[in-house]
Structure 1
Amino acid sequence: MKTSVIVMCMLGLISCTEQTGAAALSLDLSIETIYQDGEKGVEQRTETYEAMEDFFADYKNWQIIDMNQDMITLRTTEETLSPLVKWSGYADVD
């Protein structure tokens, strides 16, 4: 496990900082949400994990679209209308 973290740091996939003797993983994420009406919401965020297993556990139901040196792009689909459409006055009809 520790070797894989070191290799990933060397490849530049993640930023590593020391925290109480353990390396913390700082990941830049691009989160894409595709809504039922076809709209796509995109959010950029940075999250910190103790291990990559924690990251994969948090996003186990998400699709990894791209994983490069700068950012990990994840995608999910929602079975609801987008916030913009709801704000425009439309409502979900089941």
Structure 2
Amino acid sequence: MKYLVLSLVIAGFSIFFLLYHTAAENNGVKIEQIKEETQALEVTGPLTVNVILQQQYLDGNTSEETVTETIWSMEDFWAQYRDWQLVDQKEGQMIFRKAVDDISPLLKANGYFGISEDGTLTIFKGLPAESEEVIQSFFQIDISKLESRQQEELKKGIPVVSKDHYIQVIESFKTLSIKQ
């Protein structure tokens, strides 16, 4: 049993370093540097790393979560993050990034379309009349072309409720944009 566990640990580290080597080549790290680092390591048990998961949303916002992973099997570890792109790696830390085909939770919870003082279609954090914090800005609108109902909606704030609604509102006001 002792030899089986030791064999599994050695096999796991071998797979890890093979994948590490491939990822490093893709990220431009020198192979000699990796060889030196791997020779200095001692097989002592599972590998523990901090994994930073960055999610980039359509609206430009990025969320970040840090988890501590104990790696018993590199194959299982890489399978767990197969939908993520490895963007950086250093001792004890790996950073993965993924593009998310949705708007951010921040926009869904607190985002309101409004119009800034210069006439730019803007998403505010909170109601436009109560907030000066801008989450995202788009394009300047020809205010003279707005219907009074549209002006009132933008003053009050149009809540961002979903990706489809987000796109729909942008598209509906794009026809009123001032062409630069």
TM range (shorter): 0.7 to 0.9
Q: How many residues align?
A: 85
Within the candidate set 45, 70, 78, 1:48 is matched to: 70
Alignment TM-score, normalising by the size of structure 1: 0.75
Q: Is the 8 A contact 1:26 1:48 kept in 2?
A: yes
Greater helix fraction, Structure 1 or Structure 2: 2
Q: Which has the larger radius of gyration?
A: 2
2:129 matches 1:58 = no
Greater strand fraction, Structure 1 or Structure 2: 1
Q: Which gives a bigger RCO, structure 1 or 2 (Cα 8 Å, sep 6+)?
A: 1
Q: Cα distance, 1:30 vs. partner?
A: 0.8
Identity of aligned residues (%): 27
Segment drifting more, 33-42 vs 84-93:
84-93
Q: Cα distance, 1:83 vs. partner?
A: 0.3
Unaligned runs of 5+ residues in structure 2 are: 1-8, 15-37, 111-158, 166-180
For residues 29-68 of structure 1, what are the alpha-carbon distances to aligned partners after superposition, in whole Å with 9 as ceiling and x for unaligned?
A: 1110001111000111101231111110001111000011
Q: Paired residue for 1:92?
A: 163
Unaligned runs of 5+ residues in structure 1 are: 18-22
The CA distance in 2 between the partners of 1:9 and 1:54, in whole Å, is 24
Q: Cα distance, 1:27 vs. partner?
A: 1.8
Alignment TM-score, normalising by the size of structure 2: 0.41
